[in-house]
């Protein structure tokens, strides 16, 4: 086998040397030519003289464009799916185990939620030219005219019949129709025709939903031929001084509710309720005051088609569907869509149309969705609706307090707004026939709805607009054992408590922090054989952890203080075979989800200020695991998880959010009882009461619990 060597081949050195000499002679001539060309270019309209100048000019133009885009927030800013971004070098993943080498650094996928997919952003590969004429599914031949608009799921044009048609006719006989194009390579067409077609098949032509007359594929595009409609509520709002009267908003409210009631009755939620998706009929036609709801690309089923039951609850914090400005808080948090989400989005839509602005407008950046959701949770209905008619506040209070599978009382919600509308439906600014039918069908007596009571009991309000932090403590049923707790422990006294506990046969099972003081739980039931710990001024000291991994210790508990320091406990005698951890500026769900697929499970969590630290281990003894993340204590989600056999196994919280990890153990315990408490002070009295019932502290944290 010949030996491969790096360098110039023999016999070619002289040739290379001659070429180099010729290049040196030509260089001054080329430079003079470039200077003359640059001078001529500069004289010709002020163009840049050099490549460097051109680059700088291009960067300046880019900065000006960014500044202009920031100054005018896109009102149609729609997001289909939001996922965590790749982040900077400061956030790293460290892995210990047989397969992944000690100290391996992997790219971090954790970061703020991104809100950068604007409505109308074309999918990659959708740049094919539109046909000049369209004929699909047995339709007449249409000539494509002006563009009406574009959204996250295609572009809409006016189609005019080449032959026949009647200017006064509607439906398939109309002279002009709306043609909606979606490219075959768009995300909605991964498996054939657009998903939206299925939804229109189920809903098209029902109350408030435009009818699709023809559909088919032509060239690279899937095409729907639909009824031509008029201006959107955004257009009407914009042309009426960017504010609508109370009567106009009330009419929109009741008719929107009747449209959503019909859509929900067919098992769908719209998923993107906003002013741009409500359209009126064509001007100067009998339908000019009729309201329609369009763009069904984000619609999902809330009811299982086969069983007729409500779909199961779930949460994926990296998934967001909707438009950031109007989306429900549950959509921001990645919860399964249900009917309450459409109604919350409708509430924000109505308040926007009346007031002209929502308090969370103007946020920018990769964490826009996080900031908007935080603001929504921190804004009480009273604060948001302080300049609105009382029915808007009442409506918002009802919908934000709804449960996941709760059936809305549409007739009662409609009745809230009746006092704001004129008595004669014929002269109302919006046709409200659909709403009147609901009231008459149900036989609902007109009057105010008492929103403060539910089945005779006071209804608990979840958004008070007064953020609060508390201790969250979790207790598991165990056989009688010895357990000891310490709280408000300063750094200097920590060793004293640990040594005393170890002398009494106790090991650390859980640590936590409130401000810059530590809480310590030690008991005789950990199953560990030996234990070490470190107090570090940095959050999860990498070098020390890796040194202990080399000695076959594994992380068993972590805590972080508000100053950024940390307490890490590592133990021998665990069942773990491999371990990984991540430090992130936001909750790293995408990384957690990736690790789940690799067979890891979350075994410890902590926060330091606004930073998150998550430890995941192989052979953790779990068969499944889920996350509950919220801007308050997620009581409803936890109870739903408990009902499905999950138990809380890790907790952590910042001043903004609380996160709980719930798992299904491979070995089912004899007593599955688990209880949680939220207290302003460390729950010392409650712990003793729980001990009397053989319930022992399993995990605790301090952070956000009330919005």
**Contact between residue 625 and residue 662 where contact means Cβ atoms under 8 Å apart:** yes
Pick from 489, 538, 543, 492: nearest CA to 516: 489
Q: Which of 362, 387, 365 is nearest to 375 (CA)?
A: 362
What 3-state class would DSSP assign to 35?
helix
Q: Are 450 and 412 in contact (CB under 8 A)?
A: no
Pair 559, 511: CB distance under 8 Å: yes
Sheet containing strand 695-706, strands side by side: 674-679, 468-477, 695-706
Output DSSP code: residue 113: B
Q: Return the exposure string of 402-425: e unless at least 16 CB atoms fall within 10 Å of the residue's CB, then b.
A: bebbeebebbbbbbbbbebbeeee
Could you give the CA distance from residue 17 to residue 411 in angstroms, rounded to a whole number? Answer: 91
Active-site hit among 109, 272, 318, 523: 272
Question: Half-sphere exposure (CA, 13 Å, Cβ side) for 469?
Answer: 13
Determine whether the annotation assigns residue 274 to a binding site: no
- Known catalytic membership, residue 74: no
Give 71: exposed, middle or buried? Use CB within 10 Å, 0-12, 13-18, 19+.
exposed
Strand, helix or coil at 361? coil
Q: Rounded CA gap, 131 and 219, in Å? A: 8
Residue 582 and residue 588: Cα distance in Å, rounded? 8
Sorted by sequence, the CB contacts under 8 Å of residue 25 that are 6+ apart come out as: none
Cross-strand pairs, 475: 675, 697
The string of DSSP codes covering 54-97 is HHHHHHHHHHHHHHHHHHS--TT-EES---BPP--TTS-EEEES
Give dist(CA 673, CA 265) in Å, integer.
Answer: 38
Helix (H) or strand (E) holding 477: strand 468-477
Please give the structure tokens belonging to residue 539.
């959050």
3-state secondary structure of 13: helix
Q: Which of 494, 487, 448 is nearest to 471 (CA)?
A: 487
Task: Identify the DSSP state of 510.
Answer: E
Q: What are the angstrom distances between the C-alpha of 494 and each of 498, 532, 534, 669?
A: 6, 13, 10, 33
Q: Please give the annotated binding residues, written as ranges.
A: 180
Q: Please give the annotated binding residues for ATP, written as ranges.
A: 180
Task: Catalogue the active-site residues.
Answer: 272
């Amino acid at each position: 086998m010949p030996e491969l060597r790096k360098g110039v081949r023999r016999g070619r050195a002289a040739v290379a040397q001659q070429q180099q000499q010729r290049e040196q002679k030509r260089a001054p001539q080329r430079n003079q030519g470039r200077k003359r060309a640059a001078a001529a270019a500069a004289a010709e309209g002020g163009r840049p003289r050099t490549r460097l100048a051109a680059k700088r000019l291009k960067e300046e133009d880019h900065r000006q464009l960014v500044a202009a885009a920031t100054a005018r927030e896109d009102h149609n800013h729609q997001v289909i799916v939001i996922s965590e971004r790749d982040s900077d070098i400061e956030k790293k993943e460290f892995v210990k185990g047989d397969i992944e080498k000690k100290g391996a650094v992997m790219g971090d996928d954790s970061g703020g939620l991104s809100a950068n997919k604007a409505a109308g952003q074309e999918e990659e590969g959708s740049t094919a030219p539109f046909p000049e004429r369209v004929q699909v599914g047995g339709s007449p031949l249409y000539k494509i005219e002006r563009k009406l608009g574009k959204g996250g799921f295609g572009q809409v044009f006016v189609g005019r019949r080449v032959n026949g048609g009647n200017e006064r006719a509607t439906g398939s006989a109309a002279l002009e129709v709306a043609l909606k194009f979606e490219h075959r390579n768009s995300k909605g067409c991964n498996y054939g025709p657009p998903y939206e077609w299925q939804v229109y098949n189920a809903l098209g032509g029902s109350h408030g939903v435009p009818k699709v007359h023809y559909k088919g594929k032509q060239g690279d595009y899937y095409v729907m031929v639909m009824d031509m409609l008029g201006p959107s509520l955004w257009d009407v709002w914009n042309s009426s001084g960017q504010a609508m009267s109370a009567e106009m908003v009330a009419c929109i409210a009741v008719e929107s509710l009747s449209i959503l009631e019909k859509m929900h009755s067919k098992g769908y939620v719209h998923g993107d309720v906003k002013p741009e998706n409500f359209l009126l009929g064509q001007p100067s036609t009998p339908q000019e005051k009729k309201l329609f709801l369009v763009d069904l690309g984000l619609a999902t089923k809330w009811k299982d088609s086969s069983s007729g039951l409500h779909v199961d609850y779930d949460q994926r914090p990296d998934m967001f569907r909707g438009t950031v400005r109007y989306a429900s808080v549950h959509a921001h948090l990645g919860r399964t869509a249900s009917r309450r989400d459409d109604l919350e989005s409708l509430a924000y839509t109505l308040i926007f149309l009346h007031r002209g602005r929502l308090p969370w407008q103007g946020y920018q950046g990769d964490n826009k969705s996080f900031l908007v959701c935080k603001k929504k949770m921190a804004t009480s209905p009273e604060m948001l609706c302080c300049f609105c008619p009382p029915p808007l506040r009442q409506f918002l209070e009802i919908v934000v307090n709804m449960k996941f599978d709760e059936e809305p009382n549409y007739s009662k919600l409609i009745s809230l707004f009746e006092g704001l509308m004129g008595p004669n439906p014929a002269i109302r600014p919006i046709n409200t026939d659909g709403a009147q039918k609901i009231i008459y069908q149900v036989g609902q007596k007109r009057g105010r709805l008492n929103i403060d009571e539910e089945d005779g009991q006071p209804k608990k309000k979840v958004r008070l607009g007064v953020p609060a932090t508390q201790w969250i403590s979790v207790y598991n049923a165990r056989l009688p054992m010895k357990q000891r707790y310490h709280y408000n422990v300063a750094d200097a006294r920590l060793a004293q408590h640990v040594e005393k506990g170890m002398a009494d046969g106790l090991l650390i099972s859980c640590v936590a922090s409130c401000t810059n003081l530590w809480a310590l739980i030690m008991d005789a039931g950990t199953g560990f054989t030996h234990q070490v710990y470190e107090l570090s001024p940095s959050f999860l000291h990498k070098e020390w952890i890796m040194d202990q991994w080399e000695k076959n210790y594994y992380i068993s508990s972590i805590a972080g203080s508000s100053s950024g320091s940390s307490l890490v406990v590592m133990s021998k005698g665990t069942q773990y075979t491999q371990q990984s951890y991540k430090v992130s500026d936001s909750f790293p769900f995408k990384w957690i989800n990736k690790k789940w697929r690799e067979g890891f499970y979350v075994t410890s969590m902590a926060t330091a200020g606004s930073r998150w630290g998550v430890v995941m281990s192989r052979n953790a003894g779990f068969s499944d695991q889920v996350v509950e993340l919220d801007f308050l204590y997620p009581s409803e989600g936890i109870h739903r998880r408990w009902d499905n056999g999950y138990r809380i196994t890790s907790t952590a919280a910042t001043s903004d959010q609380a996160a709980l990890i719930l798992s299904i153990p491979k070995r089912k315990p004899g007593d599955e009882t688990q209880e949680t408490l939220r207290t302003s002070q460390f729950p010392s009295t409650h712990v003793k009461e729980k001990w009397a019932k053989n319930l022992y502290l399993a995990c605790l944290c301090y952070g956000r619990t009330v919005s």
